[in-house]
Structure 1
Amino acid sequence: MGADVFHSEVPLTVNGEARRPTVDHRSTLLDVLREQLGLTGAKKGCDHGQCGACTVLVDGRRVNSCLLLAVSLEGREVITVEGLAPAGGDLHPLQRAFVDRDAFQCGYCTPGQICSAVGAIAEARAGRASHVTDPAADVGAPVELTRDEIRERLSGNICRCGAYPHIVEAVEDVTR
């Protein structure tokens, strides 16, 4: 068996750009993003899907990129924190809110927090309930992002510095 048996070219779109990295079948999306594509915003925290530092969006849904095999992403769209901002150098509204609210200290978790917040906002707008959503709420209707909803939806992203109050305020700023 040749070495090519364990590598495949994977066509995907990353931050709006068509890419075709050749990946080892054991490589995670996080490793391909950081090591092959030079996108170092997503961080390797726990490498077990427990901290959320590696959160990115795949087809608009938030994922822990340390758990997702890159070879499984053929034809998918990946957005990292580097790809959130519109062209022209402006920050994404959540990135701006994080800066304005000082919603970080060391900043290690910030890219994952921001990507997770983008996904959480989209989920709420699409009417996806969380554990704290009122059971009497209309099924499929947009969910209001109260402080409790924001905290619940972002609970998979850990901030060792404890910047949670400012993170919640930043998300509130964008959703109001």
Structure 2
Amino acid sequence: MLAVLATKFAGSVEVLAYACLGAVGGALAFIDTAVRRLPDVLTLPAYPAVLILLTVAALTGGTIGALGRAVLGGLMLAFVYRVLEFVNPAGMGYGDVKLSGVIGMALAWLGWPVLLLGAALAFILSAVVSLVLLLLRKVTLKSSLPFGPFMLLGAFTAVLLG
């Protein structure tokens, strides 16, 4: 995953922000799949790390507008996830809410369409996998799947396409 991101952002400071999120995201996806938790010890430090690296990219690349969009996008996606978690706490964990903000920053840096695509892909991928698992009788309608890996895969896919 990191090699793909390095190729996508070759020669730019942005690569550091996406590599940081990719490394943390890989660990978070593994942990969430194994124990259904997104630990704060990984999620929360990603915010200042990604923000600082995007700030450096904005200052060196003259893309201050992208930095503002990234911050706003992170706030917006976190707000949407918080509303979803508030409305249906059984369907969305607070770890997902905390992860959504840093994902929103990374996606919105690349543009509003990338943010929308990444957010939508998380739900689409989750629905497709859930349907396949239901058809294979690996889960029931009462089962739940960790959502963090789908958030991260949706974001990764949107970054590559964006």
- Structure 1 length normalisation: TM-score? 0.26
- Point out the structure with max Rg over C-alpha: 1
User: If each structure's helix is expressed as a fraction of its own residues, which one has the higher value?
Assistant: 2
User: If each structure's strand is expressed as a fraction of its own residues, which one has the higher value?
Assistant: 1
